[in-house]
Amino acid sequence: MSQSQVAPDAGSEPGGSEPAGSETAGSEPAAPESLGDRVRSAAKWSLINTLLIRIGTFATGVILARGALTPRDWGLYAVGGVAQAVLLSFNELGVSLAVVRWDRDPRSFAPTVVTLATASSTLLYVGLWFLAHDIAVMLGSPDATGVLRILCFAVVVDGVACVPNAVLMREFRQRARLTIDLLTFVVSSGLTLLLAFRGWGASSFAWGGVAGVMVALIGCGIAAPGYLRPGWDRKVARELVHYGAPLAGASLFVLATMNTDSAVVGATLGPVALGLYRVAFTMSSWPVRAISETARRVSFAGFSRAAVSEQTLTDGFTGGLSPLLIASVPACALLAALPGPIIRSVYGDQWTGAAGALRYLAILGLLRIVFELCYDFLVAAGRSRALLTVQALWLAALIPALIIGAHRNGISGVGAGHIVVAAALIAPAYLLTLRAVGIHPLRIAAVTWRPLLGGAAVVAVAVAVNHVAGDSDAGLAGASLVAMAAYVPIAVPASVMRQVSGTVASRFGRIGRRRKPIAPPIVVDERLASGESASA
């Protein structure tokens, strides 16, 4: 728990004659926050964090695409990004998740985690340094060797910083995370823009990324002091490796499935096609990063704390899936319905070749949001080996599908190959795995049918309106607004709409009443008023 969440003078005895609400030493300590309160507070700050960073990242990308970099530059950077993502997927062997998941005091085993993570990250980077040229040639972009060596140094920094990062997640300290991420973004994007406009090309991304992770390391060390100290306990190390190995394997497969496509495109179609494909993939990831990333900052910690009860854990999954889908479906549906107009409006005409891939990748983005929630849930439920099996199956089926798609229909075929594997194979595999831990498919269908039906309406309405209004920025805006108007009454249950309306009316009513000179109100705990336990 963060310092701002700790009740003042929690160890003092209640008593004294201080007025109610006083925070002096003699007052009764405030009740500790419930898990629900902490998760809601963390989710709020995580949402603010994600929106600010993603809006800034989006704006930076548009500036670079329109004025400084070419599709080839993006392709060379993407090669480095593929290698970096694969290394990051298992650079700390999965042991940092123990800081979030284990009930014991993290200070008792954190030094061993720091040592394991730093050593494994450094060894991986050394290997990458010597293999960088061969990897770049294999991916069809020998010019990316220098970018690989610069960008992947972030792997070492990530290994060093993994423990304080995990501590901030464990304690739901998303407000501190917001400050760190904002500073990281300012330094990383600022340096990238400066170097790009000075003609550094793809290397501008690499140097900006390294500068950003260094700022993040310093920020995490300040926010969670005492967690960067290395140490060693052989027994704890064995426990950590046993716990983290399946998770590291699953994480490796996850990152491989999300980056194998770039490897296939680079090796078969070249860096220009790879640059176009990465723009399409980045656009399809907007909902994933804006919505799923917000949820994932708190979902694993929340599931881990709720894992003491199977019923609480399964209720948490279905309760989280519904709002996640309601928020993400319309954006994914619009990207799938109008890929060409959206790309042209945002990035310019030179990037319209990415539209064919975006149509399919937008659907993949929606599936990724659901799959990532399943991933966090299954890890918290102790099903890491089943999760490893699903991820291995995904990668094994995906590689031939992407190669066939690339040869038949270029980057559009790669996007289609993603959808075939994810929808026809991986979605059923996740359903079977979830059923094994008590979540019946009918229960999932009950919270997904409304958003999916609303998404179908978004596609139909957006295409029809855009056809009538024309392929222009005004037509795109009109199609998006009308499609959203059609989505809300279908996807959002009437009970939720009434609850939102009642909340808004209640807040406006309070504002109106505050203008009248009335006696001080009696403070009532809303949880007690609704019959909910204060410790729930």
pLDDT digits (tens, 9 = 90+) for 304-346: 555 545 666 677 777 778 888 888 899 999 999 999 999 988 8
pLDDT score recorded for residue 361: 94
User: What pLDDT digit, counting tens, does each position of 10-53 carry?
Assistant: 233 333 333 333 343 444 444 455 555 655 666 566 666 666 77
φ, ψ at 2 (rounded to 5°): -70, 160
Looking at the predicted structure, is the pLDDT value of residue 505 above 90? no
The Cα 61–Cα 222 span in angstroms is: 30
**What 3-state DSSP class applies to 536?**
coil
What's the pLDDT band for 163 if we cut at 50, 70, 90? Answer: confident
pLDDT score recorded for residue 107: 82
Q: Can you give the residue ranges of every domain in the chain?
A: 41-269, 274-443
Provide the whole-model pTM. 0.62
Tokens 């042209």, located at residue: 344
Residues 192/147, Cβ–Cβ less than 8 Å: no
pLDDT score recorded for residue 513: 52
Looking at the predicted structure, is the pLDDT value of residue 531 above 50? no
The secondary element (H helix, E strand) that includes residue 58 is helix 35-67
Tokens of 70: 């070419």
Which residue type sits at 383?
R
Residues 157/91, Cβ–Cβ less than 8 Å: no
User: What pLDDT digit, counting tens, does each position of 175-218 carry?
Assistant: 788 888 889 889 999 999 999 888 888 888 889 989 988 998 99
pLDDT score recorded for residue 535: 34
pLDDT score recorded for residue 227: 85
Residues 16/24, Cβ–Cβ less than 8 Å: yes
User: What pLDDT digit, counting tens, does each position of 99-155 carry?
Assistant: 766 767 778 888 888 888 888 889 988 988 888 888 888 877 788 888 888 888 988
pLDDT score recorded for residue 293: 62
Rg (CA), the chain: 25
DSSP 425: I
User: What pLDDT digit, counting tens, does each position of 393-444 carry?
Assistant: 998 999 999 999 999 999 999 999 999 999 999 999 999 999 888 888 888 8
What's the pLDDT band for 172 if we cut at 50, 70, 90? Answer: confident
